[in-house]
Amino acid sequence: MKTQFENKNASEQMRAVRGYAIISKGDVPKKIDESTFTIPSQNGNGEYTIKKGAKWRCTCPDHKERKMDCKHIHAVKFFLDFNKKVKIENKGIVGQRTLCMYCNSKDTIGYGKRQTESGQKQRYRCNGCKKTFIEEKDFERYKGNGKVTTAILDLYFKGVSLRGIKDHLNQFYNLSIDHSNILRRIQKYSIVINDYVKTLKPELKDIWHHDEMKIQAGGKWKWLWNVMDEDTKFLITTQVSTKAKVKDSRKFFADAREQAEMQPKFLITDGRHPLTESIQREMPETQHIRVVTLTDKRTNNQGIERLNGTIRDRVKTMRGFDNEETAELMTSAFRNYYNFIRPHSALGITPALKAGIGVGMEGNRWMKLLKKSL
């Protein structure tokens, strides 16, 4: 598996990481014949067909457009590598009434054990919803110690550099992990959490705030778009784009509407870009308010501007912005840190908890979020 990450540029490595994340969360490729596999779309839009051969092929848009190994091809390659190393035991034997983590059904079966460096991991399959999963207690052993993984995530999104994290792991866990492996672990679990968070529906109110800022990705300036709910302080969605034209803003507001499954009564923006057309098309029920003064409460956009300042500070220490794709991933991951992990100073709790989808305030919130995501 290691060879799938070696001798690749940043874009190719990112696809390999995404492929690894697909397998990690249990989306196992379905074998059609010796050279053909299918794998579910991560957006829930059907499935893609992968053909194994001298030149691998996939029916997804990414592979068709770029003619390079996409995340689905990497997922199948990882799956085949796993099968060479995995010793399947007790397949088809009824499990010890292990509840399905998705539908709580007791109709589960043992679905093999995988030998890892930290021991064996039991996988189960639910005969009800047809999904595979591991018991929550197994997360502690899943791809290394869970406390180490959550420590890495917490330190990174609090602004500690990769080399600082490496030093922390060496001092407090007696572990020597290369900073590139640390970044790869952050990216992998960020993908898993992102996919889970997309399935949640926060309870939002009628006033949203939008702002945009510039960040660097791959040595080039990109636009980062954010929209936040005023009452819960929940950061609804983020988007990275090369330009700030109508088609870019329309895509962003359409995504915000779909993520929230609603339209606000008011959407407050600054006066930098003419967004009225995009808002009218994608949110026809919403009244667009452009900031006029900072003293008018209805048009005060300082909350999200402060958030952008926080993001700007984090970007200075966060590695991994090699291109637009990785910038999109890591800013979305920071959104999850902001919503689910970091208590908001004005709320005293996390925005996700205020919006009814949080993981509580006690204990290791990263661990709780990862268990739900896996």
Residue 197 burial (10 A CB sphere; 0-12, 13-18, 19+) = buried
Please, where in the chain does CATH 3.30.420.10 lie?
207-373
> What percentage of the chain carries pLDDT values higher than 70?
75
Give residue-wise pLDDT tens across range 257-297.
998 999 999 998 876 667 888 999 999 999 998 875 544 44
Give residue-wise pLDDT tens across range 111-124.
776 544 445 667 77
Residue 29 burial (10 A CB sphere; 0-12, 13-18, 19+) = buried
- Between these two residues, 57 and 21, which has the higher pLDDT value? 57
Confidence of residue 303 (pLDDT cuts 50, 70, 90): low
pLDDT, residue 265, reads 94
Of 186, 149, 160, 194, give the one whose Cα is nearest residue 335.
194
Which of helix, strand or coil describes residue 173?
helix
C-alpha 53/C-alpha 60 separation (Å) is 17
pLDDT, residue 143, reads 45
Among 79-83, 160-164, 166-170, 348-352, which is the least confidently predicted range?
A: 79-83
Pick the CATH number of 207-373 from 3.30.420.10, 3.50.50.60, 3.40.50.300, 1.25.40.80: 3.30.420.10
Give residue-wise pLDDT tens across range 311-352.
666 666 665 467 777 888 888 899 999 999 999 988 999 999
The alpha carbon of 120 is separated from its chain's Cα centroid by a whole number of angstroms, namely: 26
Confidence of residue 95 (pLDDT cuts 50, 70, 90): very low
Long-range Cβ contacts of 33-37 (<8 Å, 24+ apart)? 37/76, 37/79
Give residue-wise pLDDT tens across range 224-265.
899 999 999 999 999 988 888 899 999 999 999 998 999 999
